[in-house]
Amino acid sequence: MLTIVAFIVALGLLIAVHEYGHYRVAVACGVKVLRFSVGFGKTIYRWQPRRQKLGQCTEFVIGAFPLGGYVKMLDEREGPVAPEERHLAFNTQPLRSRTAIVAAGPVANLLLAVLLYATVNWVGVEEPKPIIAGPVAGSAADRAGLRGGEEIEKAGFEGEALQAVRSFEDLRWLLTRGALDGRDVRLQLAPSSEGAGRQALLALSQVRSPDADVQLFRKIGIMGPWTPPVIGEVMAGGAADRAGLRKGDVILFIGATRVLDGQQLRDRIRASVKTGEGVPDTWQVRRGDRTLELAVAPDIVRDGETAIGRIGAYVGAPPQFVTVRYGAAEGLSKGAQRTWEVSVLTLRMMARMVIGQASLKNLSGPLTIADYAGKSASLGLTQYLVFLALISVSLGVLNLLPLPVLDGGHLMYYLWEAVTGRGVSDAWMERLQRGGVAVLLVMMSIALFNDVTRLFG
């Protein structure tokens, strides 16, 4: 139920903001708006405000099918227009007005994203501290000499000034952009008990991955924030219980290998398999002020076609958290910066998919959006706002693509008109519209296939 409600609220808000952008600018340009609809199909509710701007008699409608909306304006191409109202028709407006009306929808979504990101910055959010877990063997982080437990003070792209890193999410976002853009990232490590801070260079330009998924982060090597290698709740009768492990035990060594964090411990347990059986090993454990040695033989479970080790206990503990909050001006500036970065990254990923450098699996449809809407809402208001901001950016960028039937396609028509002094002919308009619909249907089909594969495959 939460997933459905969160999905409907998200779609309703983002579509309403998009269409309101068109509506508000149309009214400001003197165009008569006949209907403002959020949703398609059977009308659930309709109303007509008594007080409207002179010349306006807009009907506001909520439709039963929430995947879309529209603003219907007076237009001679869509029906007869009385001579005395011809100056109120969309098609009779100067080019600059038509351009502004069409562009206002995507721009409204991008401005909403700025506001949502800024709100999260102003309210503040609890995020893990930028202390990294042990790197994946052979990854970029491993080759850079990172060992886990290092706190990142500053980071930035190679050749640019380093910026303060306030949370692990800041670091994750920088690494994502670096890997997808093929740019190396330099890290400034905080001083530790082992000595003064140093710098490390992650050669992300050498990371190649067609998908922005977990495998990308495995190649980067930083999978999550540092967590202590402790044992949580122990399941009765499981491998941990049989070996004598107890809640609160801190794992120091497995065999001769020192255990640095919870992620490394989980990976080592999963990999403790040989010829389909659990490989026993000696664990050195600190329990209170005592150090114990216990023989642990993981149980084997199947993860698809792969056999992995399990010990029947919660492994690791929550990472250290920090409250990230910004002032009014800085919060708004950071919100605008994040909106710009997400927009550019979205466009680059789309371009890479078109030329075959990125997998079409990166396309997501309504099922994935609904799934993430529910998950983000269950994590709290700030996470849901971040989700809304991300989808709002995606909606704004998608609508600016130069595809007929989308706002960006109409803007391309207007660009042609500005350059040549004449509009696109009706014959060409019809051909382009059919092509645009075909491309959009193919994209939607791929996205829906990816959704079904991702959620039910």
Domains of the chain: 95-124+328-457 (no CATH), 140-220 (2.30.42.10), 231-315 (2.30.42.10)
What confidence score (pLDDT) does residue 432 get? Answer: 84
What confidence score (pLDDT) does residue 212 get? Answer: 66
Of 19-23, 151-155, 447-451, the one with minimum mean pLDDT is 447-451
Q: Is the pLDDT of residue 193 over 60?
A: no
Per-residue model confidence as pLDDT tens digits over 386-423: 999 999 999 999 999 988 888 999 999 999 989 998 88
What confidence score (pLDDT) does residue 194 get? Answer: 58
> What percentage of the chain reaches a pLDDT higher than 90?
49
What is the phi/psi pair of residue 300, to 5°? -110, 130
List the catalytic residue out of 19, 84, 127, 150: 19
Of 248-252, 291-295, 378-382, the one with minimum mean pLDDT is 378-382
Q: Is the pLDDT of residue 294 over 70?
A: yes
Give the best-scoring range by mean pLDDT among 46-50, 51-55, 83-87, 362-366: 83-87
What confidence score (pLDDT) does residue 37 get? Answer: 93
Structure tokens at 144: 């850079």
Q: Is the pLDDT of residue 122 over 90?
A: yes
CB 197, CB 153: distance < 8 Å: yes
Query: Taking the CB of residue 415, how many other CB atoms lie within 10 A of it?
Result: 13
* Average pLDDT of the chain to the nearest whole number: 88
Q: Is the pLDDT of residue 44 over 70?
A: yes
CB 89, CB 75: distance < 8 Å: yes
User: d(Cα 364, Cα 38) in Å, to the nearest integer?
Assistant: 22
Calculate the CA 219 to chain-centre distance: 19
User: d(Cα 263, Cα 228) in Å, to the nearest integer?
Assistant: 9
Q: Is the pLDDT of residue 214 over 80?
A: no
Half-sphere exposure at residue 216, Cβ-oriented, CA atoms within 13 angstroms = 21
- Provide the 3-class DSSP secondary structure of residue 229: coil
Q: Is the pLDDT of residue 104 over 90?
A: yes
What confidence score (pLDDT) does residue 412 get? Answer: 92
Q: What are the C-alpha distances in Å from 11 to residues 6, 340, 369?
A: 9, 22, 10
The verdict on whether 19 is a catalytic residue reads yes
The secondary structure of residue 208, as a DSSP letter, is -
